[in-house]
Amino acid sequence: MANLVYRRRFTVEWGHCDPAGIVFNSHFFEFFDWSVWLLFETALGVPPNELGTAFGIVGIPLVDAKARFLKPAKFNDVADIASEVSEFRRSSFDVAHRISIGGELAVEGSETRVWAGRAGMGRARPGRSGQIEGHANPSRGHRAVSGHSLEALVQQIPDCGTGGARTVGRMSRR
């Protein structure tokens, strides 16, 4: 199966930059986060604030993040970010991010997130009720929007001439 790639364009804002005039590194993790939520909203057709209702989860919390900074990003640079879920496991998944400026790779990043719900949701868990824990994500066949798994939804997105990778996204100043 080809991976879903979410692509978007944004402009580096003054508030993203440090006194040296380059993007402060923690802002790249915000850019990654925005793209993950937009990827899932696009793939699942569910706004982030409705994921809990649609899937019985509390969210997709971040449990690991890494980045390699290869080229500085400056105020008013136009950046392109491509984000894709590179691997699904039982309750966690990895997301790879690539940010380019002027066609050159500027930042590579990766995240691990967990499909998280409260213990006891739908099953008896004595002594753990209400605690947050990993839940099997829909790519493992659990019910998702309209009874489809995430993998099945990704398969329905057309290959936009990307050599097998499915691309979705929108342009934005954000």
Least confident of 6-10, 16-20, 114-118: 114-118
Q: Give residue limits of the domains in the chain.
A: 4-171
Give me the catalytic one of 18, 33, 77, 94. 18
Report pLDDT for 169. Answer: 47
| Residues contacting 105, CB < 8 A, separation 6+ | 70, 71, 98, 99
Query: pLDDT tens across 117-148, in order?
Result: 777 655 545 555 566 666 666 643 333 322 34
**Measured distance CA(132)–CA(135) in Å, rounded:** 9
Report pLDDT for 122. Answer: 52
The CA radius of gyration of the chain, in Å to the nearest whole number, is 17
Q: Indicate whether 48 pLDDT > 70.
A: yes
Q: Indicate whether 52 pLDDT > 60.
A: yes
Q: Indicate whether 158 pLDDT > 50.
A: no
Q: Is residue 18 annotated as a catalytic residue, yes or no? A: yes
- Name the more confident of 48 and 101: 101
Report pLDDT for 121. Answer: 53
Q: For 4-171, CATH number?
A: 3.10.129.10
